[in-house]
C-alpha cells in the first residue's frame, strides 16, 4: 500500500534547543517506518539521546529482512536502551540522558507499534480518533485511573515526570502492539508531548480533516505554539490517501470560520441596495421631467432659508 506522510519538528517558544528527533520514510519494498523521540538530560544529552535512538532504530530495521512481529521490534528497543546506558556512563555530561520512543512500522497492510515514554501514536478511522499508546508518566497513570481529567493533566505540576524511558535503567517495560490493520482511509499521528501536552485530544481530532499531511503537521505545530509552545514540538502524520494539492486552502476552510465569505456576501448586499436606490432616483427624475413637460404642469419651488 502506498502511504503519504510528512513530519515537522520545532523547538517551541521557550526552549533554547530542540531535543526531539523523528524519522518518517520508506525503509524497504512496501515497508515504512515512523518514529518520534523526545530526549531528556542536561546540556545536549537529550538531543544526543533522541537522535541516537532514532538513528539506530532505523539502521537496525534496514539491516534486517523486515520484522514480522512486534517482538522483533522490542529486541531493537532493548538493544538501543543498552547502547544509551553505555553512552551515558562513558561520555562526560551525559549521565542520566534518556529519551522516549514511539515507533510505527508498517509492512503491507499490517502495522506494528513499540513504545516507551509519553510521546503518543493516534489513529483516525474517519469517524473517531483513538490513542494507541499509553503515557508512561506519573500523570498518565493518574489519567488512566480516572483520578484526574485530561484538562487537569495538562496543567499538573508533575506532568513531565516519567517512570519509563530509554537509557535510564536496565529493565524497561515496552508497550507493543502486533499487526494493527492499515487501511486506505485510516490516518495516523505521532507526536511528542510538546503537542499533546498543550492541545487536548478533542482539539487534535479536528486536524485529521485536513486533506494534506504537510498542512496538517504545519497547523498542529502552529497551534501548539499559539497555546504557549513551552516544549519542543514534533509531529508526524501518515495517510493512506494521496495528499491533496492546495493544502493550505483546505486548512483555512477547516480551521478558520469563513469570515471572508460572509463579508463578501454583505458587500454584494450593499452594492445591490445602492443600485436599487440609484434606479429609484432615476425613475423619480424621469417622472418629474415628464410632469414638467405636460401643459399646465408646474412645480412649486420652495425657497431655501438663508443662514443666519
268 assigned to some structural domain:
no
199, 223 in Cβ contact below 8 A? yes
Q: What pLDDT does residue 279 have?
A: 74
Does any domain span residue 290? Answer: no
Measured over the CA atoms of residue 208, residue 210, residue 216 and residue 221, the dihedral's sign is negative
Dihedral, CA of residue 97, residue 102, residue 106 and residue 112, to nearest 10: 110
Residue 272 within a domain = no
The pLDDT averaged over each successive group of 10 residues in the chain (308 residues) is 96 95 95 96 84 96 82 95 87 78 96 97 95 84 68 65 89 94 95 95 95 96 97 97 59 34 48 70 62 43 42
User: pTM of the prediction?
Assistant: 0.76
Produce one character per residue of 46-70: b if its CB has 16 or more CB atoms within 10 Å, e if not.
Answer: bbbbbbbbbebbbebbeeeeebeeb
Q: Which of 42, 39, 3 is nearest to 18 (CA)?
A: 39
The Cα diameter of the chain in Å comes to 115
Q: What is the pLDDT of residue 259?
A: 30
Dist. CA 189–CA 257, nearest whole Å: 25
The CA distance from 53 to 79, in Å, is 10
3-class DSSP assignment, residue 53? helix
Residue-wise pLDDT tens digits, 198-229: 999 999 999 999 999 999 999 999 999 999 99
Query: What's the distance, CA 24 to chain centroid?
Result: 15
Give domain status of residue 8, yes or no: yes
Residue 150 forms part of a structural domain: yes
pLDDT the model gives residue 102: 98
Write out pLDDT tens, residues 60-102.
999 876 678 899 999 999 999 999 999 877 766 666 789 999 9
Tell me what pLDDT residue 271 has.
62
Count how many domains the chain has.
1
Residue 241, in any domain of the structure: yes
What CATH code is carried by the domain that includes residue 14? Answer: 3.60.40.10
User: Residue 83 and residue 99: Cα distance in Å, rounded?
Assistant: 12
Query: Within a domain: residue 236?
Result: yes
Residue 137 confidence (pLDDT): 76
Domain extent, residue 165, equals 4-257
Amino acid at each position: 500500500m502506498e502511504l503519504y506522510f510528512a513530519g515537522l519538528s520545532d523547538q517551541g517558544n521557550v526552549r533554547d534547543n530542540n531535543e526531539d528527533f523523528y524519522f518518517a520514510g520508506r525503509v524497504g519494498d512496501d515497508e515504512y517506518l515512523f518514529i518520534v523521540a523526545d530526549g531528556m538530560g542536561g546540556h545536549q544529552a537529550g538531543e544526543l539521546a533522541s537522535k541516537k535512538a532514532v538513528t539506530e532504530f532505523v539502521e537496525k530495521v534496514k539491516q534486517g529482512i523486515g520484522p514480522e512481529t512486534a517482538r522483533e521490534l522490542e529486541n531493537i528497543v532493548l538493544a538501543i536502551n543498552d547502547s544509551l546506558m553505555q553512552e551515558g556512563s562513558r561520555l562526560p555530561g551525559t549521565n542520566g540522558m534518556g529519551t522516549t520512543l514511539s515507533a510505527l512500522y508498517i509492512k503491507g497492510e499490517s502495522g506494528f507499534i513499540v513504545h516507551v515514554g509519553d510521546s503518543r501514536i493516534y489513529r483516525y478511522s474517519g469517524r473517531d480518533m483513538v490513542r494507541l499508546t499509553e503515557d508512561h508518566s506519573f500523570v498518565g497513570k493518574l489519567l488512566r485511573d480516572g483520578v484526574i481529567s485530561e484538562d487537569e493533566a495538562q496543567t499538573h505540576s508533575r506532568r513531565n515526570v516519567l517512570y519509563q524511558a530509554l537509557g535510564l535503567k536496565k529493565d524497561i517495560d515496552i508497550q507493543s502492539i502486533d499487526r494493527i490493520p492499515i487501511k486506505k482511509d485510516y490516518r495516523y499521528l505521532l507526536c511528542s508531548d510538546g503537542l499533546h501536552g498543550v492541545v487536548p485530544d478533542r482539539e487534535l481530532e479536528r486536524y485529521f480533516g485536513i486533506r494534506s499531511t504537510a498542512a496538517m503537521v504545519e497547523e498542529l505545530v502552529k497551534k501548539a505554539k499559539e497555546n504557549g509552545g513551552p516544549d519542543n514540538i514534533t509531529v508526524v502524520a501518515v495517510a493512506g490517501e494521496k495528499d491533496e494539492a492546495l493544502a493550505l486552502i483546505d486548512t483555512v476552510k477547516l480551521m478558520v470560520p469563513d469570515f471572508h465569505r460572509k463579508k463578501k456576501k454583505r458587500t454584494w448586499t450593499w452594492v445591490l441596495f445602492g443600485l436599487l436606490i440609484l434606479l429609484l432616483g432615476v425613475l423619480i427624475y424621469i417622472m418629474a421631467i415628464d410632469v414638467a413637460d405636460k401643459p399646465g404642469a408646474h412645480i412649486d419651488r420652495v425657497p431655501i432659508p438663508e443662514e443666519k
